[in-house]
Amino acid sequence: MIFWILNCLLVFAICMLCAGILIPQILLIAFRRNLFDEVDERKIHHGTVPRLGGIAFVPVIFFSTILLCGIHIAMGNESFIDLFASNARALCFGFCSILVLYLVGIADDLIGIRYSAKFVAQILCSVMLIAGGLTINNLHGILGIYILPDWISWLLTVLFVVFIINAINLIDGVDGLASGLSSVALVFYGYFFVLEERYIFAMLSFAAIGVLLPFFYYNVFGRAERRRKIFMGDTGSLTIGFLLCFLGIRLITCIPDDEGLPNPLLIMLSPLAIPSLDVLRVFIHRKRLHKNPFMPDKSHIHHKLLAAGMVQRGVMLVIVFGTVVLTFLNIFISRYIEVTILALIDIVLWTVFNIWLTSRIKRSGSDLAKSWTSSN
């Protein structure tokens, strides 16, 4: 196990180094070519900020992971060769899917594409994931359901992948929020992959963390007036969202329903609970107001916290820290409470929190609170 942990740390370090070199170059090109995120009434940033940070994600993750794999194969490391060969189908289809979304994201960031085209690409990638043998074929006791028929598992996988990709995309509204939440999920995924001896996927998890941390620095601490700030754009949110789906589905297929271990589905969903529940709440809210549920607005949780008087960095810290606490509590409590009841408790707590937050915003007399209330 020590050997594989060292490999995870090595790929993490390589990704950090490569991303730290590449992101400043992307900033330089973006300013030379005037490739900026347009400011509108829904955006909360000011100044000219490039949104091409996500361009660094896929090349750095692929380069670092494949380089390390190639070195081990060239050295004749049989355990590594066997591990790679046993997961070749899932890795090949997964990598192809990420490349498709990477290209779609670049096109959207540079010239803009229709929502329908992005949905088609996401569904295509979901189908490729199913072809790679990765499906949600077991609910691990949620609602008392375990093994699912193939056609239901395929449909559920497509819905899950499209849903999570868009949840990560929509939560990317405050500096450091999408990258922070994704990093939290990847830490938990990587930890459990190591425990279950699925080291190739643990390496992918830590490689993604390695590329997200330098981006987080430039996104949160970089200053627009010094040309050091950058957004991940759709290129980043689409590819990271899909990577979380890819790793999450692989995780639930390798953790057994053994007594004493946390529920696999709970491990996968808990780090993604806040963006997922937020998307569901916003969808219901927009339908209730007879609005287009796919059109962007300012009704997401980060917008509500800003309207309540919090600053951007405070919003990011509250949501990311809340995700860490929620995930730890869910994993711990799941040993004592049936998983369906625990999921219902999470939903009730989320609903109560949003009702309380809305009432607080309405009681506030600030201009931002009045603006949010009038638009929602």
Q: Confirm whether 363 is domain-assigned.
A: no
Nearest to 140 by CA among 264, 19, 25, 248: 264
Region of 39 on the Ramachandran plot (φ > 0 left; ψ -120 to 50 alpha; else beta)? beta
Give residue-wise pLDDT tens across range 72-89.
888 887 777 788 888 889
Q: Confirm whether 331 is domain-assigned.
A: no
Residue 248 to residues 157, 181, 235, 256, 354: CA-CA distances in angstroms?
Answer: 11, 14, 20, 14, 27
Neighbours of 139 (CB within 10 A): 21
Q: What is the distance between the alpha carbons of residues 221 and 64, in angstroms, rounded to a whole number?
A: 25
136 and 249 Cβ atoms separated by less than 8 Å: yes
* DSSP 8-state assignment for residue 138: B
Q: Which residue has the tokens 């008087």?
A: 309
Q: What is the distance between the alpha carbons of residues 146 and 144, in angstroms, rounded to a whole number?
A: 7
Q: What is the distance between the alpha carbons of residues 264 and 137, in angstroms, rounded to a whole number?
A: 12
Q: Confirm whether 54 is domain-assigned.
A: yes
8's CB contacts (< 8 A; 6+ apart) are: 190, 194, 199, 202, 203, 205, 206
Residue 47: alpha-carbon gap to chain centroid: 26
Would you state the pLDDT for residue 162? 96
Give residue-wise pLDDT tens across range 94-129.
999 999 999 999 999 888 888 889 999 999 999 999
Domain count, the chain: 1
Q: Is 158 helix (H, G, I), strand (E, B) or coil?
A: helix
Q: What is the distance between the alpha carbons of residues 16 and 212, in angstroms, rounded to a whole number?
A: 8
Q: Confirm whether 333 is domain-assigned.
A: no
Domain holding 115, by residue range, is 2-266
pLDDT 10s per residue in the chain (376 long)? 788 899 999 999 999 999 999 999 999 988 887 777 655 555 554 568 888 899 999 999 999 998 988 888 888 877 777 888 888 899 999 999 999 999 999 999 888 888 889 999 999 999 999 999 999 999 988 888 889 999 999 999 999 999 999 999 999 889 999 999 999 999 999 999 998 889 999 999 999 999 999 999 999 998 888 888 999 999 999 999 999 999 999 999 887 766 567 888 999 999 999 999 999 998 888 778 777 766 777 788 998 898 888 889 999 999 999 999 999 999 988 888 888 999 999 999 999 999 999 888 877 766 555 555 555 6
157's CB contacts (< 8 A; 6+ apart) are: 126, 129, 130, 134, 135, 136, 249
Would you state the pLDDT for residue 120? 94
Q: Confirm whether 35 is domain-assigned.
A: yes
219 and 231 Cβ atoms separated by less than 8 Å: yes
Neighbours of 321 (CB within 10 A): 12
Q: Confirm whether 133 is domain-assigned.
A: yes
208's CB contacts (< 8 A; 6+ apart) are: 15, 57, 61, 182, 186, 240, 243
Q: Confirm whether 71 is domain-assigned.
A: yes
Q: Confirm whether 355 is domain-assigned.
A: no
